[in-house]
Structure 1
Amino acid sequence: MVVLNKIYTKTGDAGETALGDGTRVAKHSMRVAAYGTVDELNATLGMARLAAEGELDDRLAAIQNDLFDLGADLCTPGMEKDADREYPPLRIAESQVLRLESEIDGMNAKLTPLRSFILPGGSALAAHLHVCRTVARRAERISVELATMESVNPEGVKYLNRLSDWFFVAGRIANNDGKDDVLWVPGANR
């Protein structure tokens, strides 16, 4: 259980922060950048949810919860020590990745295949979901870079990869099942 009685602690005033295992690192460390970008994605998703309703909003709420799981995963280094810990840290599981894949397949089955790239936009919800897609891609790039330096849960990286695809397909659903997609016209303004 989390209890937040005091919001500011002053422990980060010198440019360091604590990771999930208590280790102190610079606020500009790659690990902090990874989970910070996941937090940014979650806030961006909160904006998208203002335009969502019904089943799509329910799925977005589930993703927001997953993103907190992913933030907890990324802020706790040392996956190789998980089995020896008294309280194993929260890690993204394969089942969360598989759920995204299943939802992508279900949404995509409703859509006409694309014959052109689409521009981000159409409805307000679709535009927000495309912003989420690009922030998810950035979080993925940072997490992949972090994985070249330190251990990172590979399921977390897979989750971000699938999530950006999920946002793309959901953006098409938000555009009247793709009927209102804005198509790219190569060289249209030459």
Structure 2
Amino acid sequence: MPKLYTKTGDKGDTSLLGGKRVRKSCIEMGAIGEIDELNSSLGVLIAELREEKMAKNAVSKLIAIQRKLFTIGAQVASVQTTLTKVPRLSRRDVSVLEKWVDTMDTKLPRLTAFILPGGTEEAALAFHARAICRRAERNLVKLSDHYDLPIVLIQYLNRLSDALFALGRWINKKEGMKELKWKK
């Protein structure tokens, strides 16, 4: 693209992969927008983690996750096409997230109650990204009600929300921040 703007979306339409024009309000674009917001929230979290020079391993994992979110976006953008050269998520990608969750979880106290999202700024950002992830997952489920969407996409976001929850807890523990339990 020679210019950042094309003016082709000025009337509320955009193109999916393969060139099909759709309204920006369609369910595909809703799902893509949520994934984009999630990816941006991870970018903010990464910036904070880098600034504090903590969790190098978490930063590299989050960057890898950002790349996977682009893959999910590409799969969603091609759900109405027969394109074959679209990058795909695999069950292995879900397993990588599960391993990370398990690794963090072994270093955390067992949960006995719901905890309030928050703590350090970095942990709060992880918990916020988790909430965005859950919203993106709900939009993928809605999309799967209309299209044959690979289940691995929903599984990935489901595991990612678990990973972001565990990351928030791990950051708080590392920084000596006590978890606040929900009280009725």
Q: TM-score, normalised by structure 2?
A: 0.91
The one-letter code sitting in structure 2 at the alignment partner of 1:71 is G
Contact kept in structure 1, 2:75 and 2:86, CA below 8 Å: yes
Which runs of structure 2 are paired with 1:123-134 in the superposition (5 Å)?
A: 123-134=120-131
Partner residue, 2:92 = 95
Between the two proteins, what is the percent identity of the paired residues? 37
Q: Indicate conservation of the 8 Å contact 1:110/1:177, yes or no.
A: no
Deviation, structure 1 residue 177: 4.5
Cα deviation for residue 179 of structure 1 reads 5.4
What is aligned with 1:24?
Answer: 21
Which runs of structure 2 are paired with 1:57-76 in the superposition (5 Å)?
A: 57-76=59-78
Which sections of structure 1, spanning at least 5 residues, go unmatched?
A: none
What is the aligned counterpart of 2:102 among 78, 84, 105? 105
Alignment partner of 1:38 is 2:40: no
Partner of 2:115: 118
Q: Given that residues 111 and 178 in structure 1 are in contact (C-alpha distance below 8 angstroms), is that contact kept between their aligned partners in structure 2?
A: no
Q: For residue 20 of structure 2, what is the amino acid of its counterpart? A: T
Offset of residue 74 of structure 1: 1.1
Classify the secondary structure of the residue corresponding to 1:184: coil
User: What residue in structure 1 maps to residue 133 of structure 2?
Assistant: 136
1:166 partner letter: A
Q: CA deviation at 1:141?
A: 0.3
* Aligned pairs (5 A) from 1:40-55: 40-52=37-49, 53=54, 54-55=56-57
Equivalent residue letter for 2:144:
A
Matched residues, number: 179
Find the partner of 1:77 among 72, 79, 104.
79
Inter-partner Cα distance in structure 2 for 1:108 and 1:18? 41
Partner Cα separation in structure 2 for residue 148 and residue 159 of structure 1: 17
TM-score, normalization: structure 1? 0.88
RMSD, matched Cα: 1.6
Distance 1:165 1:177 in 2: 18
Evaluate the alpha carbon distance shift between residue 25 and residue 66 of structure 1 in structure 2; reply closer, same or farther with a 3 A threshold.
same
Which segment drifts farther, 88-97 or 140-149? Answer: 88-97
Deviation at 1:186, TM superposition (A): 1.5
Residues 20-41 of structure 1: per-residue CA shift (max 9 Å, x gap): 1211111000010001100000
